[in-house]
Structure 1
C-alpha cells in the first residue's frame, strides 16, 4: 500500500473523537539484514482498544514491541521512523527507557509472575519507582491494582502466597495488576489469552472492557473473534506491512483491501 494511504488511515483516527496517545510514522524494523516491519504508520488512541491481527510471522508482535522499545533487548534489532508518546519521540537519546516502560506497560503471551508473593509482585514496580510513601500507601496501591485487575476478591486473604502457585488465568491477571500498579498510560498485550482456557480468556476479555478508557490498550491476537469482541479499532498486518487499519466493525464486515477480506474469510493464515 502506498505511503499516503497509510498516513490517510492514521489521519482518519485523528479525525475521530479519539485523539492519539501514541503516533507511529514510517516505522521500519530490521533484525540484522532482514526487514521485519516495512513503513508502518498508525495512531493509538486513549478511548478505543486497538487490536493487531494477521497470520503468524506477519510482524504484529514485532511492531507492538517497538511501542515500548522492547526490541532494544535484541542486539541485532534496528528501528527507524518516528514513534511518539504525547508528542515526545520515544527513540530520542533523551528518553529514559525505564520510565518509558513504566508509562507503556507490557503483558506477555505467557504469564510471567515473579517468584515472589502476590503482594510483592504488585508492589515491585511502585517500590522501584518510589511511588509509595510508606506501607499504608503501598497497601492501597496493591489493593487498587488487584481490584482493577479483577483479582482482589480472589486473593485478598492470601497475599503472602506465591504468585507462581496461582492458576494460569489468575497469573495473567496478576501480571496485568503488576503493569497497572505503576500507573501506566498505555498497556500493550501480546496474545495475553493464547495460553489460557476459555473461562480464563473470558475473564481477561471482560477485564479489557473494564480497563478501556483508563489506559490506551493495544492487543495482539491471532483470534479474530477475540479481536471483534474486545477492540474498536483493528489493524491487519501481512508480511511486515500494515495492510488496513480502521474501525473493527468495518474491517470485519466491509474491508477495503482484498488481502484483508481473504484473511478474515479464512482463505489464508
Structure 2
C-alpha cells in the first residue's frame, strides 16, 4: 500500500476493522437470510468495499435508518447506506446515488383519498418510520396533515392499522407487500418522492475518504456491479442512475 492508501484505510477503519452499517428497515437494501444473516445489495457493496480496501469486514445491523445514521455520525460504525437528505448531510458525506427507489402512500380500500395531493389536508394523519427519509421529507413538505411516527419503517403499516390512521408512507415495495399480505388496502397512484440511495461516511473522516467512497460508488454503478447485484437479489421496482 502507498502512503495515501494507508491514510485512506485509516480514515475508513481507524480500529483496523471496517464496520458497515446495515439497515434492515429498508428491505430494498438488506434482509435476513434463512439463518438470520444479513443479505442484500448493501451487503454486497460493503463486501466489495472491504475487499478493495484489504480490510476485514464487520456488519453492524440496525432496524431503522435513523439509528444507522446516528451510528455513522457518532463513529460507532464506519460507513453506511442511506437516502440522501439535507438534514443528514450536516454530519454525513454522501456519495452519488447507486440506486433510485420510490416512496408511496397506502390507504384503506374504502378511503376517500384518491391522489397524493389529497393527503396534505387538515385532519389527515400519516404514519411514517421515525427518522426515515420519508419522515424527514414529509416533515418539510406536509403543511396541513399530521405526521404520526412509528418505531421503524417496517412497522408503519402496523401503526397505521392499530391507531386507525388515514395514510401510511414508505418504500413502495414494502407497502405493496403489506397490502397483499393483509388485504383491504391500496396504494395511491404514482409516488410522493424519489429516493436517492447512497453510501455515506461521517464528514469527520475527512474529504479524501469521502471522495474515495464516491469514486468507489461511481465505479460500481458504471461497471454493472450494482445492476448485477440487484438482479441476483431479485429486487424489483428500482432504477440504477446514469452516472
Smaller-chain TM-score bracket:
under 0.3
